Structure 1
């Protein structure tokens, strides 16, 4: 799977990860991961943070142990700025706010997270950028980096991320469900979804490392851009 290198020096590498590619190997180790691809090229590579398989956008890996320790500490101490964009179900009210709900692993160990007073403090700021009535285009700023944080916090406020099969209904976005008069073209046997992966994108990441400011950005991928264009067209 092709991906773009946003930035690289002797200490770290920033990648624009495509949706569908694992950040790091899973437990079974059957699927290729971005970390393994980078390790094959550079030798040793170190995980700083992760993106879900179906999330696209900026992700950073360290190239040596010292850089890994320092950059990881920046993430732990909340001195990084992480911005995501996502499409959620429904029209959000209020249109901006802060979600402060602690998160922990589900006791069953099924890969899901739950909100619990026993969990780790978790903070997400959100702002609705566009209202499509059935959906909202939202900017998220996460002040902590818990697993599935945006996904479970979005579910908590009643607006799960579109195509989320863990914290939402997981259903794909179909043009036929948005457009009243829709007919398959004569070349189609069945309708192709406008989107069938998690509608979440890691747009930018900033931090200060070795007294230098690092700032990385990843443009929206084609699938999310196309979906937004269609929603804007139907919204007019």
Structure 2
């Protein structure tokens, strides 16, 4: 296999690697990109990379010069054609929309971005929808875990994408989550300041470690819900699984978390709860270029809480 090396332009600063490749090589399916990253066939500055890594100006991106035959291209189109039901479903997720910004209320179980074994995602639906409706590309600004519900910002403008990405990076975006956690949180409010380390590159758990990256979460008790507690969580940083790991670390894991809690036991003790992760991105607030402060909210998807 032959390889080529390209220099990342300044206009692509902080773009995700997979989004960059999707724009420039639309016939490369996500699964192939992820595979080549794992196999070290795609490198940044001669280092192993992951699809979600951020690009920096003047970085050297090494890519395989791979010919995908027409048969393969025909079976893996860059954009799917949405059915009437899929269009209706996607439209039902839209909370607000401007010329440049789309605000999505993502349900639990729907991935933000596609990958191996996933039939659809917010990214896939939005790309196909706006390609057909407005003949324009869309850009993911941030992500939510597949099991987390709530607010997701999707940009329809490249300049806005870069502004929002910089705002997230500079901690200028305030995100507020609502979660139902196990047990009674007697402390009215507090902070969890524990560094987090990803154990592995793909689909592995996150742990608290002095070798990890700084992570800070603020929490406030809202109300007791039976034997559990409804809390407000405000992450100061945006680490992978941050809220889930931090709450588990103080003995109050989020209900329905199969990775960091004993979810089966939780549901056995709370039979009236729907089997889902009880973590919801409820509010997002930001201000770009000294403009009017923007605040978006998404109502809780669960209303009838178990009081027993």
Return the TM-score normalized by structure 1: 0.83
| 3-state SS of 2:282 partner | strand
Deviations 1:91-132 (A, max 9, x none): 114231001111121137443211122222111100111124
Matched, 1:215 2:261: no
The equivalences for 1:1-236 within 5 A come to 2=89, 3-26=92-115, 28-43=116-131, 44-107=137-200, 109-132=202-225, 134-171=227-264, 174=267, 177-178=269-270, 194-210=273-289, 211-221=291-301, 224-226=302-304, 228=305, 230-231=306-307, 234=308
Shift of 1:42: 1.7
Could you tell me whether the CA contact under 8 Å between 1:172 and 1:193 is conserved in 2?
A: no
Could you tell me whether the CA contact under 8 Å between 1:47 and 1:61 is conserved in 2?
A: yes
Alpha-carbon distance in structure 2 between the residues aligned to 1:51 and 1:172:
25
Deviations 1:7-39 (A, max 9, x none): 21122111111111111112x053210111000
- Say which structure, 1 or 2, has more relative contact order (CA 8 Å, 6+ apart): 1
Alpha-carbon distance in structure 1 between the residues aligned to 2:103 and 2:121:
15
Return the TM-score normalized by structure 2: 0.65
- Structure 2 gaps of 5+ residues are 1-85, 132-136
Structure with the bigger percentage of helix: 2
Could you tell me whether the CA contact under 8 Å between 1:172 and 1:195 is conserved in 2?
A: no
Q: Aligned pairs, how many?
A: 213
Alpha-carbon distance in structure 2 between the residues aligned to 1:156 and 1:15:
30
In our comparison, the structure showing a higher alpha carbon Rg is: 2
Alpha-carbon distance in structure 2 between the residues aligned to 1:29 and 1:60:
24
Structure 1 residue runs of 4+, over 4 Å off? none
Shift of 1:79: 0.9
Specify whether residues 80 and 88 from structure 1 end up closer, same or farther in structure 2 by C-alpha distance, changes over 3 A only: same
